[in-house]
Amino acid sequence: METECSLFSPKEADRGTLAMLAHVSFQKEDKVLDLGCGCGIVSLAAAAAGVDPKNIVGTDVDPLAVSVAKKNMAANGFDGAVFVVGDALANVPGNDYDLILSNPPYHTDFKVAKTFIEKGFNRLKLGGRMYMVTKRKDWYKNKLIAIFGGVKIFEEDGYFVFEAQKRTTAYAGKKK
């Protein structure tokens, strides 16, 4: 796997991402969004688990990350995934994802994570799941419950892995 020194976790796979992946079951037919794809570890894991690369979309705000993720997929023989440069979900095609996975920047304010959660909810199909991993618990727990109506939380290797499932078309905190 290739990476660049300016990308997140440039020397090895991030332990948080690996902790998150330990709790995800990919199905062959899943449509997967790698939100904040970095060098493409989540996309590679999905493809290696049997997900058709044509059903994988990766996005990152950093054009270099998108370029490296594309190269890593191709170098591993996974052709057909779509990678786009954009802020959050701005340029992401489709709104019927089975899985959205993200290791959002959590050492700053919650603006990016808030956008990922709210906009991600709208891109999942009913029954679809969002996974996030952070070192912080309370804000993410509360936000995911407010939007999804509930959340499972796993503790793994010093990280919190969140799994939220879309069970309705409206945010949990909003009246229909």
Residue 52 forms part of a structural domain: yes
Check: pTM over 0.75? Answer yes or no.
yes
170 is a domain residue: no
Domain carrying residue 102: 15-165
- The CATH number linked to 130 is 3.40.50.150
The span from the CA of 82 to the CA of 92, in Å, is 9
- Please state the φ and ψ torsions of residue 50, each to the nearest 5 degrees: 105, 0
Q: Tokens 């019927």 appear where?
A: 96
Question: Is the per-residue pLDDT at 176 higher than 90?
Answer: no
Count of domains observed in the chain: 1
> Residue 143: inside a domain, yes or no?
yes
Residue 113 lies in a domain: yes
Band (pLDDT 50/70/90 cuts) for residue 20 is very high
3-class DSSP state of 106:
coil
172 is a domain residue: no
Q: Which residue has the higher pLDDT, 114 or 13?
A: 114
Q: What is the mean pLDDT of the chain?
A: 90
Sign of CA dihedral 114, 119, 122, 128: negative
- pLDDT, tens digit, 9 for 90 and up, residues 68-109: 999 999 999 999 999 999 999 999 999 999 999 999 876 667
Classify residue 129: in a domain, yes or no. yes
What one-character-per-residue DSSP string does 54-81 give?
Answer: GGEEEEES-HHHHHHHHHHHHHTT----
